[in-house]
Amino acid sequence: MSYSAHSTAISADSAAEIRAARQADYVAFLHRVPFAIDAFSLGYVTGFREDCTYQQGQYETLELGVGMLDNDFRNPDLERYIDRFREYEPRVGVLGDAYSVEDARGYVRAARDLQASYPESELVIVPKCREAIDAIPEELVLGYPRGYSDQLAHEFSDPADWRGRRVHILGASPRKQVNAIEALTRPTLSGDPPADIVGLDWNGLHRGAQFGEFWSADGWDDSGRDADHVTIRKLVRHSLGRIKAFWQAQDIWPETQLHDEDVDLEYEGPTLSDLSSAACEACGANVWTTDRGPFVAEYDTGEIYGYCSYDCYFEHRTQNRLEEIVDEHSVYMPPPP
């Protein structure tokens, strides 16, 4: 752990308090299956944003469970979110962004209603102005906007405003997140209590993986860019492992997991019912009219395409540089009886 130069002489009790404050209860990764399976197996809390219906369906199929449910910040609707929360019963729920005291009070009322039925869930409200911080009671978690946000925490507040509070770091790469954690927990001359880092999440791994890169503590690494065996899924999984090791070295990775690590999950790929059209994506022919039946492929973009033949599948995939997420191969589905 690193401290500022003027604060190295701290008591053992203070050092222990800071270590406990820095250690998160959970580290979340919000994405769809099968990426969520890989994160789940590594000990991440997995989940999705409430508007991602494709993700929801895959979670339900695998009975994966929703560890964290984020709100649709681009199109917020508190009543809709509460309905989703009651449907999925997540361990962590981000209710919404409070741009005013009135916003904060509305989210607080909703949080208290949910707490009555789900006392074990962590409920997060994201202040987007200084006044909203004080309007959120201490039993609720403050969402610290650090990543992709129209209002970042440092733009409307100082680290001292968050100290003594329970905090979830929302977004940004691990290096930026650890800088925020340092600012919120390191000792100060005035003896301010550290913030309690409850959790953090970041979902930016696919951006680098699209270009053949994985995350490392030293920055994005493109050493596997030209390797034939490298796929988007493998790069994301490798990045997740690197991030876990990074947080463990920082004493931030949680000591205990929120789910059973022995759960055995296997992704089987898309089914025939996932096809939105019978037309071959490459040539437009009806995929059911061929002797061999359709090829169904799911890509890292989240799209599922059907093809009337292997030739159409292979040509369309290579011509458009599409990357599949079910290992390296297409998913072949037999024709209907």
337 residues of the chain, pLDDT tens digit each: 444 444 445 677 788 899 999 999 999 999 988 889 899 989 999 999 998 876 777 788 777 889 999 999 889 999 999 999 999 999 999 999 999 999 999 999 999 999 999 999 999 999 999 999 999 999 999 999 998 889 999 999 999 999 999 999 999 999 999 999 999 999 988 889 999 999 999 999 988 887 889 999 999 998 877 766 678 888 899 999 999 999 999 999 998 876 665 667 777 777 777 788 889 999 999 888 776 667 888 887 778 888 888 889 889 988 888 887 766 555 555 444 4
Parallel/antiparallel/unpaired status of strands 26-30 and 92-98: unpaired
**pTM passes above 0.75:** yes
Nearest to 138 by CA among 159, 116, 165: 165
